[in-house]
Amino acid sequence: MRIIKKLNNSVVVAKDDNDHEVVIMGKGIGCNYEMGYVLSRDEFERVYVLEDEKASDAVIRLSRDVPDVYFEISRKIIDYAKQNITTKLNEHIYVALTDHIYFAVQRHKDNITVQNRLFWEVKKFYPKEFKVGLYGLGVMFDELNILFPEEEAGNIAFHLVNAQQYTDDLSQSTFITTVIKDILNIVSYHFGVTLDHDSLNYSRFVTHLQYFSQRLIEKVDTEADDGFLYDQVRTMYQKEFECAMRIKNYVQKTFEREISNSELIYLTIHINRVINRG
């Protein structure tokens, strides 16, 4: 990669071996190397290449307005996230998180508080991402000497959740989190119990609901059931099946979507596990 333009201390534009322009992000890359310098492979250890044209353009625009320190904070948080979250993150997270942190600091300086209405849900449903968010609060304090409330860790976690959906549209993550919250409330109300958030079956149920919500967004159903298993599950787990039907009605009324018998089977089985086995 040959550097052809420095945007700031953390961002440069370079040309690859095929003479294509790319944007590279890395600590001190803009001040440690001169124009025309060819980066060797061992200098790519902590450098990020944004090959997506949309993401590259966004980084270029952002680098004009946002100080280097915010790119560095974002880099540290994302590095930590990659060590703790196995799912691949959308490249746009570099732009989205840097932009978010910058404006979070501006709001803090102006004494403007924006409430995260889904804070508790994000904390419960996405513990790995929330752990990264807490780490991010420490990084922000070290770099900026600003102590943010725990709610900001939820905001960082939310961006990481969104980055796993391969979209830069936060509304999808909001939708998924809301659906999970509503369905868990339906289950708790139907059985009159408080679910054990620390149990393995609860974690499995939440994971299933994440994919279930994604299928609602994409309007994709699971494969059709032949009827035998559907009848068997409906007979064996009558109370759990009634709860699954409540969820079906919720989906119909709220999103005007029908869910298949296969979805009902999976929901019923997960409900049985989370209620009876903790």
Structural domains in the chain? Answer: 1-64 (2.30.24.10), 66-168 (1.10.1790.10), 171-276 (1.10.1790.10)
* Amino acid in position 223: E
Tell me the helices (H) and strands (E) count for the chain, helix number first: 12, 4
Q: Find the angle CA(194)-CA(196)-CA(201) to the nearest 5 degrees.
A: 125
Residue 111: its pLDDT value, please? Answer: 80
Q: How far is CA 171 from the centre of its chain?
A: 11
Rounded CA-CA distance 249/245 in Å is 6
Residue 246: its pLDDT value, please? Answer: 96
The answer to whether 133 touches 154, Cβ cutoff 8 Å, is: yes
pLDDT, averaged per 10 consecutive residues of the chain (278 residues), comes to: 78 78 75 78 58 68 84 92 87 85 88 75 86 97 95 91 68 85 95 86 85 79 66 91 96 90 89 83
Q: Which neighbouring-strand residues pair with 2?
A: 15, 38
First-last CA distance in the chain = 53
Name the phi and psi angles at 46, rounded to 5.
-125, 40
The answer to whether 166 touches 91, Cβ cutoff 8 Å, is: no
| DSSP H or E stretch at residue 24 | strand 21-26
Q: At a CB cut-off of 8 Å and minimum separation 6, what does 37 contact?
A: 2, 3
Residue 223: its pLDDT value, please? Answer: 55
Residue 5: its pLDDT value, please? Answer: 76
Residue 123: its pLDDT value, please? Answer: 86
Q: At a CB cut-off of 8 Å and minimum separation 6, what does 221 contact?
A: 215, 259, 260, 262, 263
Residue 53: its pLDDT value, please? Answer: 65
| DSSP H or E stretch at residue 26 | strand 21-26
